[in-house]
Amino acid sequence: MKPSSNKLLQVVGVIVTLALLVALFQWRAAQNLTRQNYYSSNFFVFWLSGKLILEDQSPYDASQWSNGHEVYGSITPREPTFLYPLPLAVFLTPLGLLTVGQAYFLWQWLSQSAIAIVVYFLFKRWNTMAHNRLLVPVMLFLLFFGPIYLSLQIGSLGPLTLLLIFGTLLLLDSDHKIAAGVLLACTMFKPPQGIMILLLCGLVFLLKKEWKAILGIAFGGFLLLLIGYIVDVNWISTFLQSSQAAFDRRLGVQSTVWSFSYLACGGDSVCYYALGVFGMLALLTTTGWYLWKNREQISNWQMFNVVLPVSFVATLYLWAYDQILYVLPIVWIIGTLVEKTKSYVFAIFFLIILDLFSFFALAQQAITSSDLWSLGTTLLVLIFLGLASWMKPKQNKAI
């Protein structure tokens, strides 16, 4: 085939891919906008926090927080104040320039686009036609992956955190370690998630003597503290009080070692704190040892593949929608299966199993208000990571 014909086919392929993605994103965004009560979703909380900052008010002031719910949403706040770190509210202030509905619709598009960008550039690492063809079908599966499906509905921070992790990966691979550390520190926008990610990654950086990455984390943390202090000098104490109250209310209903410890101990505080600490340290120590032992064989991407699911289970509390970060290990599993088997069959089988189980877990959460079944999603990802790693490649002709 002539080079000009190849070029034309590539251009047509790009146009068709973009058209399919635009249609898919528009459909999902419109569905959520018309069918979801975004005033009672997580997104309204994020939007309102930025709106109050723009109005020179504080999302940490109980009366202003309550009044904001009444004025802009005609609803009663679920929490007495904003549950997230104050720097996040500052970061989200541009959303407050739009109405709630406009901002929610925009967030739908930005979230789906962020996921697609991450998936696209991860598949590009294989640089084969077989992997380039995967973007649209994998995005279709991912939009029905339980954590992403729910994350889009409620307008969670997950897509933003996914971009932060992906950006960190790119910066680590390009040897911009200080910048990578700064970006990684921003996962503290959601502390229960960020703390464990930083602990595990920080342990790896320490053992590998990656001092620049550690310096970047420290500098990024300092910037977040400074941003918060500029708005409210007392923000840390207020945040810690609200976080403790939220943690106490969520024990026993999430798929983390702390909730399972609470259930195993029948709610006895001494027992579940001891068991929770033991379980958390066991997970962190085992994972740290594995990453250290295999430090010469695994890439930065493979490090995150292990860190993300383990940090989810080891932390104090997270919900199923926070498993959106599993996009990194999921794409690695798919790409590796296609590379080693020279077929799409195993990758599609994995995606079907993952989607079916994750939706089952969401259904159980809707019925019982308990998210314990989401542990199965984590286990599936870890199991298939192991299978994809240990599978021997076939020598057949490339697909």
Residue type, 74: S
Q: How far apart are CA 291 and CA 110, in angstroms?
A: 33
Helix 345-368 × helix 327-341 angle, to 10°: 150
List pLDDT tens digits, range 168-211. 999 999 999 999 999 999 999 999 999 999 999 998 999 888 99
User: What is residue 396's predicted lDDT score, i.e. its pLDDT?
Assistant: 67
Q: Three-class SS string for 50-114?
A: HHHHHCCCCCCCHHHHHHHHHHHHCCCCCCCCCCCCHHHHHHCHHHHHCCHHHHHHHHHHHHHHH
C-beta of residue 232 within 8 angstroms of C-beta of residue 86: yes
- Measured CA to CA in angstroms, residue 40 lies from 44, 72, 75, 155 at distances of 7, 11, 8, 11
Whether the predicted pLDDT of 245 surpasses 60: yes
Whether the predicted pLDDT of 397 surpasses 70: no
User: What is residue 325's predicted lDDT score, i.e. its pLDDT?
Assistant: 97
Q: How far apart are CA 296 and CA 260, in angstroms?
A: 34
Rounded to an integer, the average pLDDT of 328-345 is 95
User: What is residue 248's predicted lDDT score, i.e. its pLDDT?
Assistant: 62
User: What is residue 398's predicted lDDT score, i.e. its pLDDT?
Assistant: 62
> For the CA atoms of the chain, what is the radius of gyration?
22
Whether the predicted pLDDT of 4 surpasses 70: no
Whether the predicted pLDDT of 110 surpasses 70: yes
Whether the predicted pLDDT of 321 surpasses 60: yes
Rounded to an integer, the average pLDDT of 101-110 is 97
Rounded to an integer, the average pLDDT of 6-29 is 86
User: What is residue 237's predicted lDDT score, i.e. its pLDDT?
Assistant: 85
pTM of the predicted model, to two decimals? 0.94
Concatenating the DSSP letter of every residue in 329-394 gives: HHHHHHHHHHHHHSSSHHHHHHHHHHHHHHHHHHHHHHHHS--GGGHHHHHHHHHHHHHHHHPPPP
Whether the predicted pLDDT of 1 surpasses 60: no
List pLDDT tens digits, range 254-265. 899 998 998 999
C-beta of residue 350 within 8 angstroms of C-beta of residue 387: no
Number of Cβ atoms within 10 Å of the Cβ of 327 = 25
User: What is residue 8's predicted lDDT score, i.e. its pLDDT?
Assistant: 74
Could you tell me which residue, 341 or 238, shows the higher pLDDT?
341
- With H, G, I as helix, E, B as strand and everything else as coil, classify residue 238: helix
User: What is residue 240's predicted lDDT score, i.e. its pLDDT?
Assistant: 83
How many helices (H) and strands (E) would you count in the chain? 19, 0
